[in-house]
Amino acid sequence: MAEDRPSPWRVEGAPEGGDAQPPQRPPRFRPPGGSAFWLVLLVLFGVNYLVASQVNKGTTRISVPYTVFRAQVENGNVKEISTRGDTIQGVFRAKVHYPTGKNGKSSTHFQTVRPSFGNDGLLNLLLAKKVVVNAHPVDQGPSFISTLLFSFGPTILLVLLFVFLMRRAAGGLGGGLGGIGRSRARRYEPTAQRVTFDDVAGIDEAEEELVEIVDFLRDPGKYRRLGGMIPRGVLLSGPPGTGKTLLARAVAGEANVPFFSLSASEFIEMIVGVGASRVRDLFQQAKQTAPAIIFIDELDAIGRSRAGAVSIGGHDEREQTLNQILTEMDGFDGTEGVIVLAATNRPEILDPALLRPGRFDRRVTVNPPDQEGRRKILEVHTRHVPLGPDVDLDALASSTAGMVGADLKNLVNEAALLAARRGHDRVAQSDFTDALEKVLLGAARRITLSPEERERTAYHESGHALLGMLVPGADPVRKVSIVPRGQALGVTFQAP
């Protein structure tokens, strides 16, 4: 069997110390300790007990003397009684106020105690007044178990929910609450097949700007001998898909140094202060493995200008994270060998403090490639694609004006998929042409047009084609079609 080829990049966990350590299992979850936690838990139990005791009081009964009870029986105001031993509980037909005065209470439910001496004919009196006499025991309230569950059940559920969330945090953050402030940066170690400048094409100007960074990481003594300091930060700006991230990886691959990569949005969490803690942890890891490169993608997520921004208390989580990045970049002494590369699509909204000399000293604009650049990019992406003899990359580069590296990579992939569906052994020029039409114009729709609609569409597209051919300086007409594509019933394709 053929041996598996090694991956171009190996992703490893960021180190804790200077030397690389074998991967370890995250620490087991430990319940939070401290007097504050147990104090809060005790208060929760107390509040639950007080609330439950108030709820479990049930119906309010007034205690009346036996003489008052007997008088109410004689007056026909007793509806029902329940007895257990000498204790009598029951219900008045009308409310009785006892004791008299302001301190008394009014209720239809009562309880009293029958004297244990003598037989005063109470049973006969009750029967005569048609009072319902219950022989079952007096209600003693809920059982001990139900009272216990009702009293402390909500608190127990809260504690269990808290423990469950902490276990989730332990799994997602590498060991409980202690892992919240840990950096989420992914560390890439270049191996035999690393990304180099040979894998980058079409953006020669930006590549030349970064060659000096690679040379410094390879031989820093050459610059330090003359008192030179390498830029602490390089900002890559340009439209999406132009290859900013690929350039950053190529710099790390050429210099053969560790590469820490993460998106700026990964710094931010709900808990205030986590972003700043992750920034400190990231730079500490990079310093321990220096020389190294830190790459922050989509820097505008946290580097937005603070001018005119309103935040509660003046320090929201994003602003704290940005302040920590500024502090860490100021803390470099120029000899640590840690370089920060950042990418953004919107450099105009970044905070001026980020762009001043001493932080992001150098700004590299990655523009969309020209025709020659597009041809070189197509050559890179078709290295492992079997091409037919009729494939003309120069013609494809001419027809793909405005496309960036990501668009051209997608074009090559669509052409390969289309050739596979058609059963071709190699990707032909027609496959590239049809894939380009699909990418630019949309997939063909299988709808039925009436003869009148088809004729109107033909006239309409003929007008586009005639104007494209007759107007001076217009791009040549490459194709005219009345096959519905996307939201259009017909298209006229012009390309340089």
Please, which residues bridge with residue 350 across strands? 304
Between the alpha carbon of residue 115 and those of residues 66, 84, 112, 122, the distances in Å are 8, 13, 10, 11
For residues 180 and 269, give the distance between their C-alpha atoms in angstroms, rounded to a whole number.
Answer: 9
328 is an active site residue: no
Which residues is 92 bridged to in the sheet?
78
Task: Report the relative pairing of strands 233-237 and 338-344 from DSSP bridges.
Answer: parallel
Residues 6+ apart with CB under 8 A from 412: 378, 381, 382, 385
Alpha carbon distance 305, 290 (integer Å):
30
CA 277 to each of CA 2, 109, 323, 358, 413: distance values in angstroms, whole numbers, following the listed order:
46, 64, 11, 22, 41
Tokens matching residue 347:
């450099």
CB within 8 Å of 464: residues ≥ 6 apart? 480, 492
Whole-number Å distance between alpha carbons of 262 and 265: 8
CA dihedral 299, 300, 303, 308 (to 10 degrees): 180
Helix (H, G, I), strand (E, B) or coil at 389: coil
The radius of gyration computed from the CA coordinates of the chain, to the nearest angstrom, equals: 41
> Which residue among 207, 328, 437, 461 is the active-site one?
461
Active site residues: 461
